[in-house]
């Protein structure tokens, strides 16, 4: 499988999941997609065949207090 080495301006290049339960989200997506997970401290790197496909991070305290639902963001 080939991967991109660069992105033109304006092209989506990364996705991240703001999760209310990082461990549960990691377990769910690694099982669902067969991704590998690597804890990187502030976030979890989700990988397929060694290439990062997404990041997963804990929602802020403020977001959880406001009951913001977990969500994916494209960058």
Number of DSSP helices (H) and strands (E) in the chain, helices first: 2, 5
Q: Residue 61: count other Cβ atoms within 10 Å of its Cβ.
A: 8
The pTM of the full predicted model, rounded to 2 decimals, is 0.80
Q: Could you give the strand order of the β-sheet that contains 44-48, starting from the edge strand earlier in sequence? A: 36-39, 44-48, 51-58, 15-19, 71-74
Q: Which residue has the tokens 């963001």?
A: 73
Over the stretch 8-67, which tens digit does the pLDDT of each residue have? 888 777 899 999 999 999 999 999 999 999 999 999 999 999 989 999 999 999 999 999
């Amino acid at each position: 499988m080939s991967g991109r080495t660069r992105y033109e301006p304006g092209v989506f290049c990364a996705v991240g999941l703001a999760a209310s339960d990082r461990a549960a989200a990691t377990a769910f997506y690694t099982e669902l997609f067969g991704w590998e997970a690597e804890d990187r401290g502030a976030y979890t790197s989700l990988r397929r065949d060694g290439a990062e496909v997404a990041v997963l991070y804990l929602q802020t305290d403020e977001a959880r207090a406001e009951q913001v639902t977990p969500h994916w963001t494209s960058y």
